[in-house]
């Protein structure tokens, strides 16, 4: 997994078959989240510093900056760069010529503790969803379950949300969505699940009781990365309204 191959994947330069092989390789490598996050941060920094080729700058703007989560990452890196550049201007006495400039992300890579900050940065668009993760085999392929509380935020932010690691043989994921306290009952519900690339799917939704509903998706329809699930309550006359907040999780 080279840096250039990761960049080509992030900018969607790889053919579909090659992109699928890349994802399979990532899934098989234990340290892929940190490596991919570090390269992604360097790509963002090169874009902000104007160091990308014209073609890659165009692809960054048209293929990468397609979701709110990614745009938030770019804003965060821009803020870090401004802080770093301003700090570099402060000098208390004449000093010898500085060594070659290390990029912000190279500095973060220098130690494991700071490298973890890069991973957190790449996942800054995610919010912690209070929930628990359990697995149970229930027939061919296995059914994997996740329970989530709703977050009042409209975008992921802050601590890392619940992580879900699905094996290759997984059949489907059932997500129990706990409704906000005092939410009125509805005739039925529907949901929209958006991944970090902006792709939207519609899971099947079944009410459990007045306090929760279950959204079910085939495991094959879930890509790795952050996901946000929006829930809509539908009245008997067909009028629907959005359940306030979103449900966030990460497919690892």
- What is the helix (H) or strand (E) element at residue 215, kind and residue range? strand 212-218
Instruction: Mark whether 53 and 135 lie in a shared domain.
Output: no
User: Which position has the higher pLDDT, 96 or 117?
Assistant: 96
Q: Provide the 3-class DSSP secondary structure of residue 10.
A: helix
**Which residue, among 76, 149, 148, has the nearest Cα to 119 in the 3D structure?**
76
CA dist 26 and 40 (Å) reads: 14
Q: What are 224-239's pLDDT values in tens digits?
A: 888 888 999 998 888 9
Q: Beta strands of 8-73 (E only): which ranges?
A: none
Q: Answer yes or no: is 219 within a domain.
A: yes
CB 190 within 8 A of CB 234: yes
Instruction: Mark whether 62 and 160 lie in a shared domain.
Output: no
CB atoms within 10 A of CB 236: 8
Q: What are 123-139's pLDDT values in tens digits?
A: 443 333 333 333 333 33
CA dist 230 and 243 (Å) reads: 7
| Close Cβ partners of 112 (under 8 Å, ≥ 6 residues apart) | none
Instruction: Mark whether 115 and 144 lie in a shared domain.
Output: no
Ordered DSSP codes for 102-158: PPHHHHHHTSHHHHHHHHHHHTTT--PPPEEEEEE--STT-EEEEEEE-BS-SS--S
Q: Answer yes or no: is 24 within a domain.
A: yes
Q: What are 178-209's pLDDT values in tens digits?
A: 998 888 888 899 999 888 788 888 899 988 77
The per-residue pLDDT of the chain, averaged, comes to: 76
CA dist 51 and 111 (Å) reads: 25
Instruction: Mark whether 7 and 113 lie in a shared domain.
Output: yes
Instruction: Mark whether 42 and 148 lie in a shared domain.
Output: no
Q: How many domains does the chain have?
A: 2
Q: Answer yes or no: is 97 within a domain.
A: no
Helix orientation angle between 32-48 and 68-89, rounded to the nearest 10 degrees: 70
CA dist 123 and 70 (Å) reads: 9
CATH of the domain at 142: 2.60.40
CB atoms within 10 A of CB 125: 23
Q: Which domain does 60 fall in, by range?
A: 3-90+102-122
The pLDDT, as a whole number, for residue 99 is 57
Reported pTM = 0.44
State percent of the chain over pLDDT 70.
71
Q: Answer yes or no: is 95 within a domain.
A: no
Output b/e per residue, 162-171; b: 16+ Cβ within 10 A.
bebebeeebb
Average pLDDT value for residue range 104-115: 46
> What token pair was written down for 89?
């201007």
Instruction: Mark whether 62 and 139 lie in a shared domain.
Output: no
**Which residue, among 250, 198, 229, 222, has the nearest Cα to 12 in the 3D structure?**
198
Q: Answer yes or no: is 231 within a domain.
A: yes
């Amino acid at each position: 997994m080279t840096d250039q191959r990761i960049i080509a994947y992030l900018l969607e330069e790889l053919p579909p078959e090659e992109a699928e092989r890349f994802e399979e390789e990532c899934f098989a490598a234990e340290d892929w989240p940190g490596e991919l996050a570090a390269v992604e941060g360097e790509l963002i920094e090169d874009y902000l510093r104007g160091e990308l080729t014209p073609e890659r700058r165009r692809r960054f703007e048209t293929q990468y900056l397609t979701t709110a989560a990614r745009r938030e990452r770019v804003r965060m890196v821009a803020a870090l760069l401004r802080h770093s550049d301003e700090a570099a201007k402060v000098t208390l006495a004449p000093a010898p010529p500085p060594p070659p400039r290390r990029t912000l992300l190279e500095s973060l890579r220098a130690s494991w503790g700071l490298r973890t900050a890069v991973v957190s940065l790449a996942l800054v668009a995610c919010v912690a969803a209070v929930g628990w993760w359990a697995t149970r085999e229930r027939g061919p392929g296995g059914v994997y379950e996740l329970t989530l509380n709703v977050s009042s935020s409209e975008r992921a932010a802050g601590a890392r949300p619940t992580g879900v690691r699905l094996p290759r043989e997984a059949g489907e994921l059932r997500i129990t969505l706990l409704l906000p306290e005092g939410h009125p009952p509805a005739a039925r519900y529907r949901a929209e699940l958006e991944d970090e690339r902006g792709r939207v799917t519609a899971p099947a939704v079944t009410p459990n009781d007045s306090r929760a509903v279950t959204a079910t998706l085939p495991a094959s329809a879930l890509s790795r990365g952050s996901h946000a699930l929006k829930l809509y309550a539908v009245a008997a006359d067909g009028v629907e309204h959005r359940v306030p907040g979103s449900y966030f999780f990460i497919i690892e």
